[in-house]
Amino acid sequence: MTAEELAGRLMAKDRRVSTASVYRALAVLTELGLLHKVSLGEGRTRFELVSAGGEHHHHLVCDRCGRTVTFEDDDLEGAIRKLSERMPYEIDAHEVTLHGTCSACSAGGVSA
Q: Where along the sequence are the contacts to Zn ion (CB under 5 A)?
A: 62, 64-65, 67, 77, 102, 105
What are the two backbone dihedrals, phi and then psi, of residue 25, each rounded to the nearest 5 degrees?
A: -65, -40
The neighbour count for residue 105, using CB atoms within 10 Å, is 18
Q: How far is the CB of 6 from Zn ion (least distance, A)?
A: 22
Of the pair 7, 105, the CB lying nearest Zn ion is at 105
Q: How far is the CB of 94 from Zn ion (least distance, A)?
A: 6
Of the pair 27, 91, the CB lying nearest Zn ion is at 91
Of the pair 9, 100, the CB lying nearest Zn ion is at 100
Which residues have CB under 8 Å from 41's CB, separation 6+? 61, 63, 99
Pairing of strands 35-41, 44-49: antiparallel
Q: How far is the CB of 89 from Zn ion (least distance, A)?
A: 16
